[in-house]
Amino acid sequence: MRVDELSVSETVAVAETAEAEFMYAFERGAPREAQEALGMEQARVGGGVVLVMAGDPTGGYWNKALGFGVTEPFTEDVARDVVDRYRRAGAPAGVLQLAPAALPEDWEDVSGRLGIVAGNVWAKLLRPADEPPAPAHSDLEVGPLDPGEAEAWARLFARGFGMPEHPSLLAMFAEGASSGQRSGFRPFGAHDGTRLVAAAQLFVHDGLGAFCGAATDEDARGRGAQSAFMQQRVEAAHAAGCTWLSSETWQESDGHHNPSLHNMERAGFVQVYDRVNWVWRP
């Protein structure tokens, strides 16, 4: 089946579920000490997931609510519950990531009452897993990550996304890189000799594959790591029995070029909708 053959509801279900389950598993899988140090909570609410990190060292990125509008309607009561959870926890911010089709008709009024404002826009993308990936070439050694490199992988991932190398945050990243297939995570790495210079993550859940980010050290960019990661993750997801692959990245606007978006499209991903990040702050 092609992406354009999916109905709106099917598109939302695939795209939102894959990402929500990845985020839930990633944060819930953080070591207990990291959970306590960062004030973390995870809950399933209104058909979606709410992820709280009161002590988020990034200022709010890891406080997300998503996956709504698939199994039940997203309503003002659900939105109020989400906001109340962030408020009670003392979180620096909360981001509600809602597919356009999930927004209630009176969302302008609801968001106004709850103090939720529009933030930046992300593009959601899908591709069928059985479509052959574009061939990729790199002079780096690219493949599944050795679990013994989880800590180096975590530091590289944090650097690549401009996040602080906070010990508890790194512990969460490292757990996702070392927990292996039993938790659905399939990390990849690229090496220049013995040095790890690029990192990527794939998450597999119930026939869906989520492409969960990739990063390359600045001095190793332009050597094909990202294209190789795309090819290998498509192949790994298909081998794991996935039918659909989902990804997301920030949408281009006002002349701002996003190389990740174009890498995804070259790898066969198709943009299916733009999603606003709706932001609540205390």
Is 124 in the same domain as 175?
Answer: no
Residue 229 has pLDDT above 80, yes or no: yes
**CA proximity to 136, closest of 24, 248, 234:** 234
Is 44 in the same domain as 65?
Answer: yes
170 assigned to some structural domain: yes
Report residue 242 as tokens: 């996935």
Is 103 in the same domain as 7?
Answer: yes
Please tell me the distance from the alpha carbon of residue 34 to that of residue 259, in angstroms, as a whole number. Answer: 32
The residues pairing with 118 across neighbouring beta strands, listed in sequence order, are: 278
Residue 257 has pLDDT above 90, yes or no: no
Is 170 in the same domain as 118?
Answer: no
277 assigned to some structural domain: no
Is 10 in the same domain as 89?
Answer: yes
| pLDDT tens digits for range 36-57 | 999 999 999 999 999 999 999 9
| Domain housing 202 | 141-269
**pLDDT number for residue 270:** 96
216 assigned to some structural domain: yes
CB 200 within 8 A of CB 229: yes
116 assigned to some structural domain: yes
Mean pLDDT over residues 127-139, rounded? 93
Please tell me the distance from the alpha carbon of residue 247 to that of residue 202, in angstroms, as a whole number. Answer: 10
Is 254 in the same domain as 172?
Answer: yes
CB 37 within 8 A of CB 55: yes
Residue 187 has pLDDT above 90, yes or no: yes
For residue 139, give Cα distances in angstroms to 83, 222, 227, 260.
47, 10, 12, 20
| pLDDT tens digits for range 194-215 | 999 999 999 999 999 999 999 9
| pLDDT tens digits for range 166-180 | 999 999 999 989 876
**CA proximity to 228, closest of 214, 249, 207:** 214
The residue among 258 and 15 whose pLDDT is bigger is 15
Q: What is the CATH number of the domain that holds 244?
A: 3.40.630.30
The residues pairing with 108 across neighbouring beta strands, listed in sequence order, are: none
CB 114 within 8 A of CB 280: yes
Residue 60 has pLDDT above 70, yes or no: yes
Is 40 in the same domain as 72?
Answer: yes
**pLDDT number for residue 259:** 85
- Residue 248: pLDDT band by 50, 70, 90 thresholds? very high
**pLDDT number for residue 252:** 87
**pLDDT number for residue 253:** 81
Q: Considering the entire predicted model, what is its pTM? A: 0.94
136 assigned to some structural domain: no
135 assigned to some structural domain: no
Using N-to-C axis directions, what is the helix angle for 167-178 and 150-160, rounded to 10°? Answer: 120
Mean pLDDT over residues 233-239, rounded? 96
**pLDDT number for residue 208:** 97
Q: Which of 91, 107, 128 is the last residue of a domain?
A: 128
**pLDDT number for residue 181:** 57
Please tell me the distance from the alpha carbon of residue 182 to that of residue 276, in angstroms, as a whole number. Answer: 33
Mean pLDDT of the chain: 95
134 assigned to some structural domain: no
Q: Which of 128, 153, 188 is the last residue of a domain?
A: 128
Lowest average pLDDT, out of 23-27, 78-82, 151-155, 249-253, goes to 249-253
Is 160 in the same domain as 53?
Answer: no
**pLDDT number for residue 134:** 85
Is 225 in the same domain as 179?
Answer: yes
274 assigned to some structural domain: no
Mean pLDDT over residues 71-100, rounded? 97
Please tell me the distance from the alpha carbon of residue 139 to that of residue 175, in angstroms, as a whole number. Answer: 28
**pLDDT number for residue 36:** 98
The residue among 197 and 260 whose pLDDT is bigger is 197
Indicate the burial class of 162 (C-beta count within 10 angstroms; 0-12, 13-18, 19 or more).
exposed
Cα of first residue to Cα of last residue in the chain, in angstroms, is 44
The total of structural domains in the chain comes to 2
Is 124 in the same domain as 148?
Answer: no
Report residue 25 as tokens: 């598993």
Instruction: Write 101-107 long-range contacts (CB < 8 A, 24+).
Output: 101/8, 101/9, 101/12, 101/69, 101/273, 102/12, 102/16, 102/68, 102/69, 102/70, 102/73, 102/74, 103/69, 103/74, 104/73, 104/74, 104/75, 104/76, 106/76
Q: Which of 128, 150, 174 is the last residue of a domain?
A: 128
Is 260 in the same domain as 171?
Answer: yes
Report residue 126 as tokens: 């899908």
Is 157 in the same domain as 56?
Answer: no
Continuous segment of H or E residues that includes residue 188: strand 185-192
